[in-house]
């Protein structure tokens, strides 16, 4: 596809895919709520001995905005620290990456991080992927106006389970862009499996540019995930409203309390929602009594030593790495080649 204004019609078609993929997945049965698959996944998690819900359900339109607000918090260092690394080492990164890549943004959100890369690396195509499809579409519409010469496509899909890309995504010089340390939501083994799937979507000219949060003082970590304003609490609690919508559940948000704390033994932040008192929850296809203090595990955010981060990428089949960190060694941005 030629760039410039010719990219607008294909963009609109991708938007149609966005809705289809986000609401139901291709060919999946739908109910008045979310997809049958999503309801089954949510129900299984809520019914388990240790209740859990995937962190991907944190991101409805409001959840995406609350996450943006988290990124503004002084206590939430990852966004700021990563941005400082990009600002300091952008030229070196651009040198390693080269021009005319197919920039594939995993969890694009408001697309701001990719937009800051555009003037440095001049990608040939920008493919923004996010589970929060409506939010993504609005973000990309604005971005296409600012950069009319870059061919853009939006894909509303849950890339955690499958990274199958449509044929509209160029095969040449694919650069998987995975900033923000979202890799931390996976266990280390899941992270290797996921990165392997990204590696498999690359030709020998492909690469990965990834942000990984590093192990640090636990007081810094605790403050970042349980901020005094309660923005992270609102972000976590909003999951319950999203579940009410997706699975026809009857969570009363006021009956739950946010917990966000570093588990040093597991090298991860854990977020939970804890029942303030004994209560019962119903959802489409299930019901459960929660004791006072019983919790739903909603997120892990793994922190790595930089040697372990490099090891993870090597295990996934990437090589020739460049690692950039901030002066405090709080966060790492790594460029790794598929070779």
- By CB under 6 A, name the binding residues for ligand AVJ: 70, 78, 180-182, 184-185, 225, 232, 299, 301
Let me know if 12 is exposed, middle or buried by CB neighbors in 10 A (0-12, 13-18, 19+): exposed
Minimum Å gap between C-beta 172 and ligand AVJ is 29
Minimum Å gap between C-beta 135 and ligand AVJ is 14
CB closer to ligand AVJ, 77 vs 283: 77
Q: Which of 78, 73, 35 is nearest to 57 (CA)?
A: 35
Minimum Å gap between C-beta 313 and ligand AVJ is 17
Q: Which of 337, 333, 331, 275 is nearest to 301 (CA)?
A: 331
**Sign of torsion, CA 41 47 49 53?**
positive
Q: How many CB atoms lie within 10 A of CB 20?
A: 16
Minimum Å gap between C-beta 58 and ligand AVJ is 7
Greatest C-alpha distance within the chain? 60
Range list of H helices, 106-251: 112-121, 133-146, 188-200, 218-225, 231-247
CB closer to ligand AVJ, 17 vs 232: 232
Minimum Å gap between C-beta 207 and ligand AVJ is 21
Minimum Å gap between C-beta 40 and ligand AVJ is 24
**Cα–Cα dist 66/2, whole Å:** 37
CB closer to ligand AVJ, 156 vs 206: 156
CB closer to ligand AVJ, 251 vs 331: 331
Backbone angles phi, psi at 327, to 5 degrees: -60, -30
Q: Which of 116, 114, 100, 111 is nearest to 142 (CA)?
A: 111
CB closer to ligand AVJ, 262 vs 283: 262
Q: Nearest residue by C-beta to ligand AVJ?
A: 301
CB closer to ligand AVJ, 57 vs 225: 225
**Cα–Cα dist 265/14, whole Å:** 43
Task: Please state the length of the chain.
Answer: 339
Minimum Å gap between C-beta 185 and ligand AVJ is 5
CB closer to ligand AVJ, 69 vs 169: 69
């Amino acid at each position: 596809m030629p760039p410039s204004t010719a990219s607008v019609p294909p963009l609109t078609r991708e938007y149609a895919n966005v809705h289809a993929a986000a609401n139901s997945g291709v060919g999946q049965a739908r109910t008045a709520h979310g997809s049958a698959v999503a309801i089954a996944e949510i129900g299984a998690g809520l019914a388990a001995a240790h209740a859990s819900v995937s962190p991907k359900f944190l991101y409805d339109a409001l959840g995406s905005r609350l996450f943006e607000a988290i990124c503004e918090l002084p206590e939430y260092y990852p966004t700021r620290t990563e941005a400082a690394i990009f600002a300091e080492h952008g030229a070196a990164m651009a040198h390693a990456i080269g021009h005319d890549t197919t920039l594939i943004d995993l969890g694009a959100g408001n697309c701001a991080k990719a937009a800051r890369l555009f003037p440095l690396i001049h990608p040939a195509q920008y493919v923004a992927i996010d589970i929060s499809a409506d939010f993504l579409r609005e973000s990309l519409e604005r971005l296409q106006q600012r950069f009319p010469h870059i061919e853009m496509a939006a894909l509303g899909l849950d890339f955690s389970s499958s990274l199958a890309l449509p044929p509209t995504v160029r095969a040449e010089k694919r650069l998987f862009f995975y900033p923000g340390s979202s890799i931390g939501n996976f266990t280390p083994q899941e992270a290797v499996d996921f990165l392997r799937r990204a590696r498999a979507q690359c030709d020998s000219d492909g690469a990965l540019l990834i942000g990984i949060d590093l192990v640090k003082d636990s007081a810094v970590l605790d403050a970042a995930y349980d901020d005094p304003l309660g923005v992270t609490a609102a972000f976590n609690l909003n999951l319950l409203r999203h579940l009410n919508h997706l699975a026809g559940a009857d969570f009363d948000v006021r009956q739950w309390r946010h917990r966000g704390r570093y588990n040093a033994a597991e090298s991860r932040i854990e977020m939970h929602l804890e029942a303030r008192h004994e209560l019962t929850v119903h959802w489409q296809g299930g019901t459960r009594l929660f004791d006072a203090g019983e919790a739903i595990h909603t997120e892990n955010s793994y922190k790595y030593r930089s040697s372990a981060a490099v090891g993870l990428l090597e295990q996934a089949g990437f090589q020739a790495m460049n690692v950039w960190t901030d002066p405090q060694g709080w966060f790492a941005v790594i460029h790794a080649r598929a070779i």
